[in-house]
Amino acid sequence: MSKREIKKAVLAYSGGLDTSIILKWLQDEYGCEVVTFTADLGQGEEVEPARQKALKLGIKPENIYILDLREEFVKDFVFPMFRANAIYEGEYLLGTSIARPLIAKKQIEIAHKTGADAVAHGATGKGNDQVRFELGYLSLDSDIAVIAPWREWDLNSREKLLSYAKEHGIEIDKKGKKSPYSMDANLLHISYEGQILEDPLTEPEEDMWLWTNSPEEAPDKAEYITISYKNGDPIAINGEEMSPATILKTLNEYGNKHGIGRIDIVENRYVGMKARGCYETPGGTIMLKAHRAIESITLDREEAHLKDELMPRYASLIYNGYWWSPERKMLQASIDETQRFVEGDVRLKLYKGNVIVVGRSSSKSLYSPEHSTFEEDEVYNQKDAEGFIRLNALRFMIEGSNQPERHRNLLSKIEK
C-alpha cells in the first residue's frame, strides 16, 4: 500500500514533541485523516493534555481517544507474565515490553471502529519497540498498513525535529531544552536510556532516578508486609483486598520508600546491538520475590523445575514482541495450569533495597513438617534411602564393571 492510498491512520500519541511532530508529518506526507490514541497505563503523567494538543493540531474531537487501561494492563498482561516469573537475561522485568501488545491491541480496535486503514507509531528503527508494535498489529490484523515515520523521514536529529516543530507551530515542551534521557513509564516500571548511559562504565547520577529512594536514604527501620495470592495472582496486601492495578500501585509505593527495584543493565536487543538501560521496577521486584515464595510450597518439584526451564523462552518471546504468538499462548496455558493451587500468604521484610521473604503459608501447601523434621518421626523410613541411592547409581556401577578404563581416567583427572 503506497502513501497516497492511506485514508485514515490511528497514531499512538503521547502528546509529547516526537508524536506531535509525527501527527503533523502524517497529515502533510500522507494527506490522511489522523486518529490519536493515548493510553493511560499508570505512567504518572496527566494524559488529558494530549487532547488539547491534538485539537490544536486539527484533530476532530471524535477522532481523539484517551483510554484508562491501568486495570486491563495489570490484570491481563502484567499478572499473566508474573505467573511465569518472567525475567529477561537474568535481570530485566520486561516493563516496557509487556505494555506494547496492549497498545497495539487498542490501536487495532480503534482502527476497526473508525474505519482506519493504517496504524502508526513513534518507535525508532534501532530499537525493540518497532518490532513489538508491528508484530502486534499484524498478528491482530494482517491487512492493516503500518507507518513507521522514523524509518521514512529525514528528521533524524534533535535539531531537525525542533526545527520542524518550530516551522509548523508545534508546541515545544521545556522551551526546547534537551531531555537528558529517553524514558518510558507505566505502572510496572520506568526506564532510562541515552546520554551518559551510552557509556556502560559511567555511573548514573542519583537525580536520574525519579521513583525510588536511594538505598542509602531509605528508612533505617525495616517494614513488614503480607501479600495474599489466589491462582498465582496477588489479591490482597496486609489482608486488604484490592484491584490488580491498586495492588501494583501500592507495592510501588512500598518499593519506592525502601529503595527497591533499581537495576542497571546492558541487554541484547532483538535487532542485534547491545544497549545499556536503567530501570526502576519497585512493585514488580516485590511481586517476583513473593510469587516465587508462594510457589515454593505449592508447586510440585518437577512442575516447578520445568516451569523454570521454560521461563527464559517465555521471557524472550515477550521481550522480542511475540505476545500474540501461538507459542506464547501455548506456554501461557501451561503456566496457568500450574497456578491453580498457588494460593496463600507471603510475609516480606523490606529494607534498604532488599526484599526478604520471612514466611509463607498455604492451605494447599506441599510442605510436610512430619517428613522434613530433624526430630524423630513415624512417616519416613531412612533405610529406604539406601535402595533409592543404589538404583540411581546403578548405571555408574555397571559402567565401572564393564568399562573400568572410564573410571581410571576419571580418577586420574581428580588426583591431578
Active site residues: 18, 100, 129, 182
CA dist., res. 17 & res. 11, Å (int): 14
CA dist., res. 228 & res. 333, Å (int): 23
> Does the CA dihedral 284-290-295-298 come out positive or negative?
negative
Please answer whether residues 316 and 272 qualify as being in contact, where contact means their C-beta atoms are separated by less than 8 angstroms. Answer: no
Structural element, H or E, at residue 349 = strand 344-351
CA dist., res. 194 & res. 321, Å (int): 22
Going across the sheet that includes 190-193, the strands are 182-185, 190-193, 274-280, 262-268
Structural element, H or E, at residue 159 = helix 158-167
* DSSP letters for 111-147: HHHHT-SEEE----SSSSHHHHHHHHHHHH-TT-EEE
